[in-house]
Amino acid sequence: MPIRVLSDELSSRIAAGEVIERPASVVKELVENSLDAGSTRVEVEVVGGGARSITVVDNGQGIPADELAIAFERFATSKIDASSDLIAIGTLGFRGEALPSIASVASVEVTSRQAGADAGARYRVDFGKPGTLEPAGAPEGTRIVVSGLFTNVPARLKFLGSAGRELSRIQTMLASLALIYPHVAFSLNADGRDRLRTNGSGSISDAVSGVYGQKIADQMLQLEADGSAAFSVDGLVSSPSLNRSNRTYLTLSVNGRWIQSRRLSYAIEQAYHGFLPERRFPIAVARIRTPLDDVDANVHPAKAEVRFLREDLVYSVVQRAIRGVLTAHAPVHELGSGRAGGSIGLLRRPAGTGGRPGQGERAAAGAGGYSGWPGPGEPGQPEIESSAGLARGQAPLPETRTAGVAPEGGPSTTITPREALPVLRVIGQAHETYIIAEGPDGVFLIDQHAAHERVMYERVKAGFDANASESQPLLEPVTIDLAPGVMTTVHEHLVELKRAGWGVEEFGGNSLIVRSVPATLAVRASGDGAGRVLVTLLDDLSEGGSGESWRERMLASIACHSSVRAGQALSTDECKDLIRQLEKADQPNTCPHGRPTIVQLTVSDLEREFKRR
């Protein structure tokens, strides 16, 4: 073929690829235009993940009728002029590329009425072919409908994901803009269903509530911007007790522009160092302000990344702000770092023994040292209580005895055959692993993971036994690859897996599609995380061996992955909640693997240690 200059029409279709990659990019460009136009309300409606149609309605300043056609010409913009050096850009758009790019790969209809104008107008462009301008009745603001996206570019159409996947991209993007612009009321409706709604009150906390729910909003800490500083950050960050297994909950903006920046995300994670366990991530909305000429927004086609002139300064402002609010609001964490020498030593190395491990501990307990709990191998082995505990009749007893459940303030009356815990008052958490509580006879240390595992195990098992396991669909199914041997385990136990709440399907070879997961687990692991849990679980289960039945081990494994980990900071309320749940468990004293969930330091232990007696 001879060399030819591409037609304008063709080259604009190619260039559109830079800006308009998928439905979410269309929504982003349109919504950014709405924001640049000063809208306080932006309504987005999509059909078929946006591939069928996208409608954006705003109440901004509108487009004058005689400028509607020009808005669709390449490099037509009202936001910068010829003298601009592209250095200090205060608007989201500035290239004048979005509308022509979108119109070259879709059918676009704009209806707009400029604020204060008597009438509105409508203009239509079909796949780059301009139509006619006609008068139209319309409220002030702009309504743009984009339909049949990419139907003239089959190659691009092929690269779109499923409607659900494209929708979730739109949702993430719009949620981010809603968090960054709390004074704008956003809504997203997909195929007739409401997906997102913020109230535009101006409070970021309200926006967080609209996007992530009130419960999360309640646990966010506020970053106060230093209004006088050239560089500042405001927003909300999660208290350490609230965290996630991935980074998708970080929303960052610079001068009102939503950005994605690995380095900035990392800077934020660093600020949480010591407050969050490994591989847990905060939820955050951080809105950074810098002098306009300190950022270059013109480095990325979709403007999703920016370049900071003084990068280190930006990071340190952000880190200092977050660190400050975390230290001010994390009493639980500080409690965990307190030193408790003698008492803990007593539990580890019972008084009066030479520190003999194993048997020695048990013997010491029998000698009145401390009251342990029946171990895994010795169910119901008579445990010798401290005399003080027996005298009060309120000490927790092993299962072969009758145990008193102490009603608050009174002697025990209820006789129950099962193990029971006394009513405990939570004092705090230590080392982000142990809950410290006070009971009628002494102080109790609870292993948060083991305790939660017990609670979750009983819940999971009850659901399984009643054939009523709750299953939670994943937003996007994940595919996992298994070792061939493991696939055999899946074949053998498919029915049980499903009954436990795993919605899995074979996907040829050694792959599985995971569509839904046990509901208890969904809280801790989503998407790929849930996939990884299933891989680990199946790997473990394929090894067999321990003598427990496969089913029991599967349920225990689900419980394990549904539980808080050691090293996870818990708020006092979360500690209380866990203790209340443990109190209700049938076998509160051991985890499903038989490890103890709780150890006790009795009042007489304390008295003896402190030589009060």
- Residues in touch with ligand ADP (CB under 6 A): 29, 33-34, 37, 58, 60-63, 71, 76-79, 93-99, 142
3-state secondary structure 217-242: HHCEEEECCCCCCCCEEEEEEECCCC
First to last CA, the chain: 103
**Minimum distance, C-beta of residue 32 to Mg ion, in the bound complex (Å):** 5
Q: Work out which of 98, 185, 220, 254 binds Mg ion, going by CB under 5 A.
A: 98
d(CA 272, CA 266): 10
Q: Which residue is nearest to Mg ion (CB)?
A: 93
Give the residues across from 598 on adjacent strands. Answer: 446
d(CA 204, CA 499): 41
**Minimum distance, C-beta of residue 59 to ligand ADP, in the bound complex (Å):** 10
Between 26 and 435, CB nearer to ligand ADP: 26
Neighbours of 283 (CB within 10 A): 21
**Minimum distance, C-beta of residue 530 to ligand ADP, in the bound complex (Å):** 39
Between 181 and 444, CB nearer to ligand ADP: 181
**Minimum distance, C-beta of residue 77 to Mg ion, in the bound complex (Å):** 7
Between 139 and 485, CB nearer to ligand ADP: 139
526 interface partner picked from Mg ion, ligand ADP, none, CB below 5 to 8 A per type = none
The residue with tokens 């770092």 is: 337
Query: Does 54 contact Mg ion by CB under 5 A?
Result: no
Spatial CA neighbour of 582 closest among 569, 570, 566, 596? 596
Between 93 and 389, CB nearer to ligand ADP: 93
d(CA 437, CA 365): 20
Query: Does 592 contact Mg ion by CB under 5 A?
Result: no
Query: Does 319 contact Mg ion by CB under 5 A?
Result: no
Task: Spell out, one character per residue from 19 to 48, where the chain touches Mg ion: x when CB under 5 A holds, - when not.
Answer: --------------x---------------
Please report, as a single letter, which amino acid is at residue 359. Q
Between 187 and 239, CB nearer to ligand ADP: 187
Between 135 and 164, CB nearer to ligand ADP: 135
Q: Work out which of 23, 93, 200, 389 binds Mg ion, going by CB under 5 A.
A: 93
Q: Which residue is nearest to ligand ADP (CB)?
A: 93
95 interface partner picked from Mg ion, ligand ADP, none, CB below 5 to 8 A per type = ligand ADP
**Minimum distance, C-beta of residue 151 to ligand ADP, in the bound complex (Å):** 21
d(CA 241, CA 283): 11
The count of chain residues that interact with Mg ion, using the rule CB under 5 A, is 3
d(CA 490, CA 487): 5
Spatial CA neighbour of 98 closest among 36, 154, 168? 36
**Minimum distance, C-beta of residue 91 to ligand ADP, in the bound complex (Å):** 7
**Minimum distance, C-beta of residue 253 to ligand ADP, in the bound complex (Å):** 17
**Minimum distance, C-beta of residue 118 to ligand ADP, in the bound complex (Å):** 17
Query: Does 268 contact Mg ion by CB under 5 A?
Result: no
Phi then psi for residue 57, to 5 deg, are -120, 130
142 interface partner picked from ligand ADP, Mg ion, none, CB below 5 to 8 A per type = ligand ADP
Between 92 and 455, CB nearer to Mg ion: 92
DSSP state letters, 93-156: --SS-HHHHHHHSSEEEEEEE-TT-S-EEEEEEETTEEEEEEEE---SEEEEEEESTTTT-HHH
Between 126 and 476, CB nearer to ligand ADP: 126
**Minimum distance, C-beta of residue 34 to Mg ion, in the bound complex (Å):** 9
d(CA 279, CA 246): 8
The sign of the CA dihedral 543, 548, 549, 551 is negative
**Minimum distance, C-beta of residue 89 to ligand ADP, in the bound complex (Å):** 10
Residues 6+ apart with CB under 8 A from 354: 360
Give the pairing type, strands 295-296 and 53-58: unpaired
Binding positions for Mg ion, rule: CB under 5 A: 33, 93, 98
